[in-house]
Chain A
Amino acid sequence: MSIRREHKVAGRFEALLDLHHGPDPDRTGPMDGPIVPGVALTRRTAVRLLEAGLQSRLQDLEARRMKDEGRSYYTIGSSGHEANAVFGHLLRTTDPALLHYRSGAFVAARARRAHGETPIFDAMLSFAAAAEDPISGGRHKVLGSESLWIPPQTSTIASHLPKAVGLAIGVARLHRLGLPCALPEDSVVYCSFGDASSNHATAQAGFNAAAAAVQHKQPCPVIFACEDNGIGISTRTPDNYIEQMFKRRPSLDYFAADSRDVPSAFTQALAAIDHCRRTRRPVFFHLKTVRLMGHAGSDVETVYRTEEELERVEAQDPLLAFADLLLSTGAISRDGLRTLYTDMRRRIERAGREASSRPKIRTAAQVRAPLELPAADTLRGRSANEARRRQVFGDRLPEADPRPRHLAFRLAQGLKDVLAAYPESLLFGEDVAKKGGVYHVTAGLYETFGPARVFNTILDETTILGLAQGMAQVGALPIPEIQYLAYVHNALDQIRGEAASLQFFSEGRFANPMVVRIAGYAYQKGFGGHFHNDNSIGALLDIPGLIIASPARGDDAVGMLRTCVAAAAEAGKVCIFLEPIALYMQKDLHEKGDSLWECAYPEPGEAVPLGQARVHGASDDDDLTIVSWANGLFMSMQAQKRLAEEGIRARVLDLRWLAPLPVEAVKEHARATGRVLLVDECRATAGGPSPLLATALATDPSCRDVVIRRIAGDDTYVPLAEAANLVLIQTDDVVDAARSLAQEERR
């Protein structure tokens, strides 16, 4: 029994070349006539599809050979799925394609529809992880192309389906708004995945979002192409599973075809594309395929499939059936096919050798380059002109209003300014429209900017973030809102694995700029319990390339929002804007009526530089530095006054940015005062940034004389009522810790 199947699969094809009986006189005809009666596929186009399929198949075989020789690093292939070339051929090169990893033939066929593409060498550069790989720059084996509108996908967990919906809806919305859009108005979005992947929650979110769009009478021209090979790695998909699950699903128009009958698949694909483009409704296209040569090169199929079964599957090879059809109908001669096969194999082998010799990524800095954040002084930002601002604000501009205002009020004004300055900005989420958000942060925006720019979404965070990604890729500047921090965890991979990684996996060729507003943290006076008081942001802090802003005060919030929007608009960055719910309506700092937590509105153009901390109340002879942010800042500043009354001078450093974290500023003030107290309102074990800061201080020789102390929340979920205060740090805790620290000898 053989473990490796490559020779078997290739051998069957080569045997066909030797043994085929030749054209059947009853089935031959002109090259530009239908290959079988009644179909749209001509013999000539069929040969072109076969060329794409063969290219894909031979690339798979070469990738495995390269792997054996230590020249390639990826062997998940497309063998058995080559019929997806029909979509590659039939769709326009401006119809965005979000492809799963078995779409080699789609890419090959689409490349032939464009000009000057070099798909073979591009694929080989990708297999070899060469730095010249024209999509990821050697960072990952992805199917992608800037010129062919194939944004690279991780696609292993169908996490690209929500953004496919976002693209489809985004194109329609930008055109409706008369805004520049990267794609024509009648584009359709193609999104492929496997049968097993259709079970992923993200896939289901995508189907649901598309169907919901139909119910909400919104155009959603997306083709979900499910390539059903009947098995997910080693787990069998039940017979007719996909059909049973999707054929009668409301608002998804179902089409089906079998890879072993390419002419029929071609006709069905043509009908599906036409239907989708014409009706702007989502389509579910069920393409039956087989999987050849295992899940990947490392997958030993014989552990879970018998030799007989493998032989049976391999005999069903769609490429074999297609080649047989072409030979029988005279579309290609046996000699012609043999020459095509050997010519293609030679081109791919040579390309593989050359690609292997090309330089790889050599330094960590090169790896990280697409994640680099813009330098703080390079962002320009944008303000609407005065006339436009008067139009949206009324005659009294917010900066001219002398009354100090609280955070939620200033945020609403800041958002209004952003929406006025950036016509492409769209604000959406749960309850953000007429209701103006749970905390009124988006109050008035729907009325000012209308339902096309400020709108409610369905109640699903994965959908919200998928919409944002898709819309951003075609030219919108999405400002989605996640209603509570706990809810983002439900959809976190849409940030971690998808939005934040796009620039990395495309070497900056694609971007999905956005500012995700998240209302979060605890301290809601015992109301709401954990899911409205989630105080762990650890899952965001380690995401490469992400910008995380977390203001505590209204003036900072407006300035930081401007910076985030500029970083998104000008550098394509994904920004998280974490807003402390408990401070939204806070007016006073120390006592009722002091209004010290209210602020003036920053002048237009005033922004908070990326990564810049703010220090409150520093003097030359401070005893210690308290480092905090958000609710912690509020408590620290309350503590600062009480400590001063005891004769302890503390300066308070507001981090403001959690990424990039202002580590140097923290060190500088720590060194200046010799003592630093890290006040972290999040869970002690990596819930917030204090462990990172503590490590940074402790491991920096220039801070060796600094005494470092830290207080943080308990490692627990936040309970209801007064019990919440038992596990969250309080102002008293800050005072106690600071007092204790101040009594410690400086080193």
Chain B
Amino acid sequence: MTRPLAVLFCPGRGSYGRAELGSIQRQLRPGPVADALAEADDARASQGRPTITELDAAQSFRPGLHLDGQNAAELIYFATMAWLEGAAERYEIGAIAGNSLGWYTAMPAAGAMTVRDGWALVAAMARLQKLATGGQILTTTVDPATWQPDTALVEGIEQALAEVAGRGEDHFVARSIRLGGHEVLAGTEKGVTALLELLPKVKSTEREFPFRLAGHGPFHTELCADVAREATHELAVLPVREPQTTLIDGRGDIHTPWSGDPRHLRFYTTDTQVRTTYDFTASVWTAIREFQPDVLLCAAPGQSLRAPVGHVVLREGYRGLRTKDALFASDLVRTD
């Protein structure tokens, strides 16, 4: 029986939470992921840091520990990679994209790097990101109940960004991630604090937008220019190779197994996407329109990409889906 055609989306920071504890161990199989994890654990233990296996096996989720950048990044990476081995048996993966940190996962997931090198990339980037100070905010442009766009929210965000940016260099703010109907904004401490006050407030049943993303830096903005410079230098020999599955990057551009250029991929990974807006919306848009998948598969850990992917499906009207209810009934966006 043919497997459904899927495009895979690898999640970024904030996807490994309480519910994901133990998920790596549950899904891990002998093979390259397990081998890379063992190597990662060894390296971390030798540095006196908690191993990924220990963090995953913890009885309770400790935000101070689990959400620390260097812990969270590797946890998420291995959680995705461990999950993926099973998913690849259930689906034919037509293309792979990621969100932010998920882009690093997408690279080895698509075969553009080994699992071990993917871990090295994730670990290095998590370490280097500490060079940038500031934060990230998550907010939304859609009605949480219906996922339909709300132009007042869009305008409110524009106004808030313009107003804060006008307060001077120490109030630098920018778009960090276009995340379907959500928007991730980032900036300096002062910028982010001011934005939180000015952005329109939106209540949903689960949470209230906007909110600060704990432990996150000003990713994908010019505030990460130093990170990009160091990463490009340090990872200059990162062994990137042609992907085996088409990659869709954070501009919506494709890198195919046949013509994908490892040098471009490396530069994009260590420089371009580090300091410019990550357009996850564009990658979903490309995935839908150019690959026409049966399933939009949001990789573990967590379910954080379900909503952003769903927002884009509704905006596009893909396969006639234009309402949240219809989308949920369709089973188009899946996490397993």
A: residues with CB less than 8 A from B are 31-32, 44-45, 47-48, 50-51, 112, 115-122, 332, 336-337, 339-340, 343, 346-347, 350-351, 353-354, 357-358
A607 to B300, CA, bound (A): 65
- Are A115 and B282 touching (Cβ within 8 A)? yes
Q: Choose among B246, B256, B319 the residue with the greatest number of A CB atoms under 10 Å from its CB.
A: B256
* A427–B16 alpha-carbon span in the complex (Å): 65
Of B259, B279, B320, the residue contacting A47 (CB under 8 A) is: B259
Residues of A within 8 A of B320 (CB): 357
* Cβ–Cβ < 8 Å partners of A31 in chain B: 242
Pick out which of these stretches binds chain A: B126-134, B164-172, B184-192, B287-295: B287-295
Which residues of B have CB within 8 Å of A346?
5
Please, how many angstroms separate the alpha-carbon atoms of A346 and B246 in the complex? Answer: 14
Chain A residue contacts of B317, Cβ below 8 A: 358
A343 and B256 CA atoms in complex are apart in Å by 11
State which of A336, A351, A357 has its C-beta within 8 Å of the C-beta of B258.
A336
Complex Cα–Cα for A449 and B336 (A): 70
- When distances are taken between beta carbons in the complex, the residues of chain A under 8 Å from B263 are 32
B211: Cβ under 8 A from any A Cβ = no
Query: A13 CB to closest chain B CB, in angstroms?
Result: 15
A354 partner, pick from B256, B259, B292, beta carbons under 8 A: B292
Q: Is the interface of A mostly helix, strand, loop or mixed?
A: helix
A116 and B319 within 8 A (CB): no
* Contact residues in B for A340 (Cβ distance below 8 Å): 256-258
**Set A32, A44, A118, A337: member contacting B286, Cβ < 8 A:** A118
8 Å CB interface, B150-209 against A: none
- In the complex, the answer to whether A116 meets B251 with C-beta atoms within 8 Å is yes
Q: Are A51 and B290 in contact (CB under 8 A)?
A: no
Is B215 located at the chain interface by the 8 A CB criterion? no
CB <8 Å contact, A347 and B258: no
Query: In the complex, what's the smallest C-beta–C-beta distance from B222 to chain A, in angstroms?
Result: 18
Q: Which residues of A contact B258 (CB under 8 A)?
A: 47, 50-51, 332, 336-337, 339-340
Interface residues of B in 257-306 (CB under 8 A from A): 257-259, 261, 263, 279, 282, 285-286, 289-292
Residues from chain A with a CB closer than 8 A to the CB of B261 are 32, 44
Taken together as a complex, chains A and B put the C-alpha atoms of A332 and B260 apart, in Å, by 12
Contact A347 B291 (CB under 8 A): yes
Residues in B302-336 with C-beta less than 8 Å from chain A = 317-320
A734 CB, min distance to chain B CBs, angstroms? 57
Tell me, yes or no, whether B253 is within 8 Å of chain A by CB.
yes
Contact call B257/A339, Cβ cutoff below 8 A: yes
Cβ–Cβ contact A354 & B319, under 8 A: yes
CB neighbors of A among B227-268 (8 A):
242, 246, 251-254, 256-259, 261, 263
What are 9 A-B residue pairs whose CB atoms fall within 8 Å in the complex? A50-B258, A112-B253, A112-B254, A116-B279, A118-B252, A118-B289, A121-B289, A343-B94, A351-B289
Known interface pairs A115-B252, A357-B320; A351-B257 also in contact (CB < 8 Å): no
Nearest CB in chain B: distance from A335 CB, A: 11
Task: Please measure, in the bound complex, the distance between the C-alpha atom of A32 and the C-alpha atom of B241, giving whole angstroms.
Answer: 13
**A358 to B, closest residue via Cβ:** B317
Name the CB-closest residue of A to B292. Answer: A350
CB distance from B321 to the nearest CB of A (A): 11
- How far apart are the CA atoms of A50 and B251 in the complex, in Å? 23
Give B242 Cβ to nearest chain A Cβ, in Å.
Answer: 8
- Closest B residue by C-beta to A353: B292
Residue of A nearest to B283 (CB): A116
Which residues of B lie under 8 Å from residue A118 when comparing CB positions?
Answer: 252, 285-286, 289-290
Cα of A31 to Cα of B259 in the assembled complex, Å:
9
How near does chain A come to B275, taking the closest CB pair, in angstroms?
16
Q: Are B289 and A116 in contact (CB under 8 A)?
A: no
Chain B residues with CB under 8 A of A48: 259
A336 touches B257 (CB 8 A): yes
Tell me the minimal C-beta distance from A277 to chain B in angstroms. Answer: 24
Q: Which residue of A lies closest to B279 (CB)?
A: A116
Interface size class of B (residues with CB under 8 A): 20 to 34
Contact A115 B253 (CB under 8 A): yes
Distance in angstroms from B240 CB to nearest chain A CB is 13
Complexed CA–CA distance, A47 and B259 (Å): 6
Given known contacts A115-B252, A115-B253, A116-B252, A347 and B290 CB-to-CB distance under 8 angstroms:
yes
In angstroms, Cα B115 to Cα A254, docked, is: 53
Assuming the contacts A44-B261, A51-B258, asked whether A121 and B282 have C-beta atoms less than 8 A apart, the reply is: no
Give the complex CA separation of A346 and B92 in angstroms.
13
CB neighbours (8 Å) of A121 from chain B are: 289-290, 292
Contacts of A354 in B (CB 8 A): 292, 318-319
- Chain A residues with CB under 8 Å of B256's CB are 51, 340
- From B291, which residue of chain A is reached at the shortest CB distance? A347
Report the separation of the CA atoms of residues A120 and B242 in the bound assembly, to the nearest whole angstrom: 22
Given contacts A115-B253, A354-B318, contact A120 B259 (CB under 8 A): no
| Nearest B residue (CB) for A339 | B257
Q: Which residues of chain B are within 8 angstroms of A120 by Cβ–Cβ distance? A: 289-290
Query: Which of A332, A337, A351 is in CB contact (< 8 Å) with B290?
Result: A351
Q: In the complex, which residue of chain B has the Cβ closest to the Cβ of A121?
A: B289
Set of chain A residues within 8 Å of B257, measured between Cβ atoms: 336, 339-340
- Which of A32, A332, A347 is B292 in contact with, Cβ under 8 Å? A347
Shortest C-beta distance, A350 to chain B (Å), equals 3
A347 neighbours in B (Cβ, 8 Å): 94, 290-292
Inter-chain contacts of A45 with B (CB < 8 A):
259
Chain A residues whose C-beta falls within 8 Å of the C-beta of B291 in the assembled complex: 347, 350
B264 to chain A, nearest CB (A): 10
Report how far A263 CA is from B183 CA in the complex, Å: 45
Q: Nearest chain-B residue to A119 (Cβ)?
A: B290
Contact residues in A for B289 (Cβ distance below 8 Å): 118, 120-122, 351
State the 5 A-B residue pairs at the shortest beta-carbon distance, nearest first.
Answer: A116-B252, A350-B292, A121-B289, A118-B289, A48-B259
How many angstroms from the CA of A336 to the CA of B291 in the assembled complex?
18
Q: Chain A contacts of B252 at CB under 8 A?
A: 115-118
Please name all residues of chain B whose beta carbon is closer than 8 Å to the beta carbon of A50 when the two chains form the complex.
Answer: 258
In the complex, A116 Cα to B253 Cα: how many Å?
5
Contact of B259 with A116 in the complex, beta carbons under 8 Å: no
Q: In the bound complex, what is the Cα–Cα distance between A158 and B289 (angstroms)?
A: 32
Q: How far is the CA of A353 from the CA of B259 in the complex (A)?
A: 27
Complex Cα gap A302–B251 (Å): 47
Per the bound structure, the CA–CA distance linking A351 and B320 in Å amounts to: 14
Check B286 against A116 for contact (C-beta < 8 Å).
Answer: yes
Chain A, Cβ-Cβ closest to B256 = A51
Q: Give Cα A44 to B253, complex, Å.
A: 17
Chain A residue at smallest Cβ distance from B317: A358
| A121, B317: Cα distance in complex, Å | 13
Residues of chain A contacted by B242 (CB below 8 angstroms) = 31
A116: which B residues are within 8 A, CB to CB? 251-253, 279, 282, 285-286
Q: How close is A575's CB to chain B, nearest CB, in angstroms? A: 34
Given A115-B282, A340-B258, 4 more A-B residue pairs with CB atoms under 8 Å apart are A116-B286, A118-B289, A347-B290, A347-B292
Rounded to whole angstroms, the CA-CA distance of A340 and B246 in the bound complex is 11
- Measured in the bound complex, the distance between the Cα atoms of B226 and A529 in whole Å is 77
CA distance A50 to B261 in the complex (A): 15
Distance in Å from the Cβ of A705 to the closest Cβ of chain B?
A: 51
Contacts of A112 in B (CB 8 A): 253-254
Central interface residue in B256, B285, B290, by most chain A CB within 10 Å: B290
Q: How far is the CA of A347 from the CA of B290 in the complex (A)?
A: 6
Q: A31 CA to B240 CA in the complex, in Å?
A: 14
A351 to B251, CA, bound (A): 21
Closest to B286 in A: A118
Q: Which residues of A contact B246 (CB under 8 A)?
A: 343
A115 to B276, CA, bound (A): 13
Q: How far is the CB of B268 from chain A (nearest CB, A)?
A: 11
For residue A110, give the distance in angstroms from its CB to the closest CB of chain B.
Answer: 13
Instruction: Provide the bound-state CA to CA distance between A66 and B252, in Å.
Output: 27
Q: Distance (Å) between the CB of A23 and the closest chain B CB?
A: 15
Q: CA–CA, A591 to B318, complex, Å?
A: 74
Query: Which A residues lie within 8 Å of B319 (CB)?
Result: 354, 357
Known pairs A351-B289, A351-B290, A354-B318; A115 contacts B259 (CB<8 A): no
Bound Cα distance A642, B94 (Å): 84
A56 to B242, CA, bound (A): 24
